[in-house]
Chains A and B, each alone.
Chain A
Amino acid sequence: MSKFTRRTVLAGMGAAAAATALPAIPAIAADRSIRHFWWGNPNRDERTFKVIDIFQQHHPEIAVSGETVGWGDYWTKMATQTAGRNMADLVQMDYSLLFEYSRRGALRTLDEHIGNGLDLSNFDKGPLSGGYVDGKLYALNIGSNSQVMPYNTRLLEEAGVTADPITWTRDDYAAACEAITSKTGVKGSDDLSLVTENQEVWARQNGRGFYNEDGTLGFTVEDVSTYWDYWAKLREADLVRSKDKTVILDAPFAEGGMIKGETAMSMMWSNQIVGLQALMQDPVGAGMVPHKADGKPGQFIKPSMFMSLTRDAKDVEAAIMYMSDWVNDPESTAILGLERGIPANPNVRAALEPNFTPPEKVSVDYFNAIQDKVGALPLPAPKGHNEVRDAYMRIGTDVVLGNKGVAEAAEEFVQTASDILERAK
């Protein structure tokens, strides 16, 4: 087993001939410059470019290049830039991929900059802790969120659902589905059989997690089979969205059941409520993932997005300055608002409060209401998580379509996931 350096291997083979023929143009001009790369949407891009403008006004000597693409394309481009050792100085990071990138050595630690360029004196400890990997801070929380069960308030009222959506149980939820379907003609809920995020909460309520601390699978066969059974019953009673829509994986947000008027309840992340409301006429409410009677807290508050300093950062000082402004500067934080999640700086939250829009208020009120009802943040997903998630959806599809029995499929998933995690090590 020998090792090769990247340059000899990748570049050497073809570049040599061309590189001699054409002189390389230096990538960086004389002035200082940093690159910030994030996955976006029209609204987020607009806010972020404004913040870049503000930073430029404060620091005219540092040019900031804002680079944005959508979520799916983001990781392709990120992987390519990582392979080429040409990552942007600052990148947006997701909790599910934090381990993949930090453990593989693509990110730099931030510990040495805290209090030394990076001002975190007003930062809540809880949200900050999400960015630690193996005891070191690799990612700065730029917003928090949690699981949420959004519901169509009009339909729930019409159906006479009285259970409190913050404290309701699994049975309450099933009863609500029944009431809604029979009274309004709209199906009670999206079928969440293939939603790993919901399965995770279910397993946590049973006292386990998605993964164990050593990176092996935490779900037991029973966690998976009871979960699939729960939804199978609702499906057989015709209280959830049709199965042909359920098996469309990772479908665009706008094709969700609530938006298309096919269902009254669903599941997503709390920072998406604003986006959901924008596509709906009826007012949206926010409930917790139904609790297990006498179970453990299943939900958790997690960083919705991080900002990370990369291995390839060229001007670390400038990048840290930018990062610090991002979470502290009143002007910038006012523009960023809640778009990426709830800010971890209480001063920022207080300053934003008077200007909340109604859907923003719903999400903040929800966030406050769940504080004492959530469990501890699980460790970031181990290497191989993407593949485990795909396997879950693939095998679950056979359950939803009735091609496989629940018990058999749950066994198959646990086995497959263990194999995947073993291979990814």
Chain B
Amino acid sequence: MNATSPELTREMEEAAAVAHRMRVAREKRARNMRLMKHVFLIVMSLIMLYPLLWLVSASFKPENEIFSTLNLWPSEFRLSNYIEGWEGLPISFTTFFTNSLIVTVLSVIGNLLSCSFAAYAFARLQFNGRNFFFALMMMTLMIPYHVVLIPQYVLFLNLGWIDTYLPLIVPKFLASDAFFIFLMVQFFRQLPRELDEAAMIDGYSVYKIYWIIILPLSLPAMATAAIFSFIWVWEDFLPPLIYLNDIKSYTVPLALRLFLASDGTSAYGQMFAMSVLSLVPVVLFFVLFQKLIVRGIATSGMK
């Protein structure tokens, strides 16, 4: 080891000092960036949260205060909207929530199963007419629902399905929602082909590959689809409106509308209170299933 000249030492010290300053500066910048990121996220959160806060606050307000003030803080907190609202319609909300849960849970299961079937076929299997069927499927996304409503009503009427949950649930088991098929197709196509090939060599059938390889690897996509289908079915309004007649079979969104009147006394406070409650299952489902999206990291690491 040679003795270093004083110049060299100084230069090295200077270099070290510069490097240190740069590191400090970089860290500072990184810290500032993180801070800015947080500030940005917090400000955005407030904008995002405002309507929910407004909704929750309206649900505690007395009827004549909801429209007359913009204050987020009610003059007095009233639980009565919740207590009276739950039994505020001729049928209790216990029934409406049960109905909604039945329809929604079955629909989610139906969607996930049938759409992943179709998506697997479109994304990873070869068969005659694949592109043709795919185009047909995309077409069902493009037609406005309102013009097929009446022919569909007549169809279900002839099947004797009106005033039952069948028109709401059965189509879900028949992959009626092309959105989910297309979503899953996009994710399935991203999975490495070598996995299938390896599995084939090991003697796996395509059915087993779907079940053992494709589905588990697509957890983030399936979780995303589950979240959407839960939310959308839970909030769906037009099909239940058209297909359900008996008030005892109403779902929550239909029931919420019963609080309102165009020509008389509405019960806005109770409507908002029940709206807040109707968000609870959706938020719970969201929080539970979004974990699966995150957990996707572990699995996609094996690529």
A and B touch in the complex (CB under 8 A): yes
Return B273 CB to nearest CB of chain A, in Å.
13
| CB of A115 within 8 Å of the partner chain | no
- Report yes or no: A252 in contact with B242, Cβ–Cβ below 8 A: no
Decide if A345 is an interface residue (CB 8 Å cutoff).
no
Within 8 Å by CB of B159, from A22, A66, A79, A339, lies A22
**Chain A residues, Cβ within 8 Å of B246:** 65, 67
Q: How many residues of B contact A (CB 8 A)?
A: 41
With both chains docked as a complex, state the minimum distance between the C-beta of B42 and any C-beta of chain A, in angstroms.
32
Q: A68-B247, A278-B265 are in contact. Are A41 and B260 (CB under 8 A)?
A: yes
Docked complex: B49-77 residues within 8 A CB-CB of A: 63-64, 66-68
Q: Does A412 contact B (CB under 8 A)?
A: no
- State whether B264 touches A41 (Cβ < 8 A): yes
Give the nearest-CB partner of A94 in chain B: B263
Tell me if B36 counts as interface (CB < 8 A to partner A).
Answer: no
> Is B90 located at the chain interface by the 8 A CB criterion?
yes
Q: How far is the CB of B145 from chain A (nearest CB, A)?
A: 12
Q: Contacting B262 at CB < 8 Å: which of A14, A70, A88? A: A70
B154 at interface by CB-CB < 8 Å: yes
Complex contact B265–A41 (CB within 8 A): yes
Tell whether, in the assembled complex, residue B264 and residue A274 are in contact, meaning their CB atoms are under 8 Å apart. Answer: yes
Cβ-defined contact, B263 with A80, below 8 A: no
Number of A residues, CB within 8 Å of B = 59
A77 interfacial contact with B, CB 8 Å: yes
- CB of A272 within 8 A of chain B? yes
In the bound assembly, the distance between CA atoms of A73 and B262 in angstroms comes to: 11
Q: Is B160 an interface residue (CB 8 A)?
A: yes
What separation, in Å, do the CA atoms of A44 and B264 have in the docked complex?
9
In contact, A71 and B261 (Cβ under 8 angstroms):
yes
B247 touches A67 (CB 8 A): yes
Q: Would you call B159 and A41 a contact (CB within 8 A)? A: no
Q: How far is the CA of A15 from the CA of B270 in the complex (A)?
A: 42
Q: Does A163 contact B (CB under 8 A)?
A: no
Set A15, A24, A40: member contacting B261, Cβ < 8 A: A40
Given the known inter-chain contacts A42-B88, A49-B90, A77-B242, please indicate yes or no for A25 contacting B151, CB distance below 8 A.
no
Tell me whether B265 and A42 are in contact (CB under 8 A).
yes
Tell whether, in the assembled complex, residue A252 and residue B266 are in contact, meaning their CB atoms are under 8 Å apart. Answer: yes
Q: Say how far B246's CB is from chain A's closest CB, in angstroms.
A: 6
Q: What 1/0 flags go to A51-73 for Cβ under 8 Å of B? A: 00000000000000111111111
Residue B200 is within 8 A (CB to CB) of chain A in the complex: no
A269 lies within 8 A of chain B by Cβ:
yes
> For the complex, what is the distance from the CA of A238 to the CA of B150, rounded to whole Å?
48
**Cβ 8 A contact of B268, one of A39, A44, A254, A269:** A254
How does the 8 Å CB contact mask read for A271-283 relative to B, with 1 for contact and 0 for none?
A: 1101100111100
CB-CB contacts below 8 Å: A1-56 with B? 6, 10-11, 13-15, 18-19, 22, 24-27, 35, 37, 39-46, 49
Contact across chains for A83 and B257 when beta carbons are under 8 A apart: no
Q: Give 1 or 0 for each of A251-277: 1 = CB within 8 Å of chain B CB.
A: 011110001110000000101101100
CA distance A71 to B257 in the complex (A): 10
Q: Which of B89, B155, B163 contacts A42 (CB 8 A)?
A: B89
Question: Any chain B CB within 8 A of the CB of A368?
Answer: no
1/0 contact string of B79-91 vs chain A (CB within 8 Å): 0000000001110
Q: Which residues of A contact B219 (CB under 8 A)?
A: none
Min distance, Cβ B265 to any Cβ of chain A, angstroms: 4
Contact of A84 among B64, B153, B264, B270 (CB under 8 A): B153
Which single member of A15, A68, A279 contacts B155 (CB below 8 Å)? A15
User: How long is the Cα–Cα vector from A275 to B151 in the complex, in angstroms?
Assistant: 39
Which residues on B sit within 8 Å (CB–CB) of A46? 90
Docked CA distance A403–B11 (Å): 76
Residues in chain B near residue A22, CB distance under 8 A: 159
Question: Which single member of A15, A71, A76, A274 contacts B158 (CB below 8 Å)?
Answer: A15
B118 at the interface (CB under 8 A from A): no
Question: How far apart are the CA atoms of A14 and B89 in the complex, in Å?
Answer: 38
Query: Whole-angstrom distance between the alpha carbons of A375 and B268 in the complex?
Result: 37
Q: Is the CB of A69 within 8 A of B151?
A: no
Other than A18-B159, A42-B270, A254-B67, give 7 A-B pairs with Cβ distance below 8 A.
Answer: A41-B266, A43-B261, A44-B264, A65-B245, A70-B257, A80-B153, A275-B261
* The 5 A-B residue pairs with the shortest CB-CB distance in the complex, in nearest-first order: A41-B261, A25-B160, A71-B262, A24-B160, A275-B264
Q: Which residues of B contact A (CB under 8 A)?
A: 63-64, 66-68, 88-90, 149-151, 153-155, 157-163, 238, 241-242, 245-247, 254, 257-268, 270
Q: What would 9 A/B residue contacts be, using CB atoms closer than 8 Å?
A: A10-B150, A11-B157, A27-B162, A37-B245, A41-B264, A42-B88, A68-B258, A253-B263, A254-B268
Q: Which residues of A contact B (CB under 8 A)?
A: 6, 10-11, 13-15, 18-19, 22, 24-27, 35, 37, 39-46, 49, 65-73, 76-77, 79-81, 83-84, 86, 88, 252-255, 259-261, 269, 271-272, 274-275, 278-281, 339
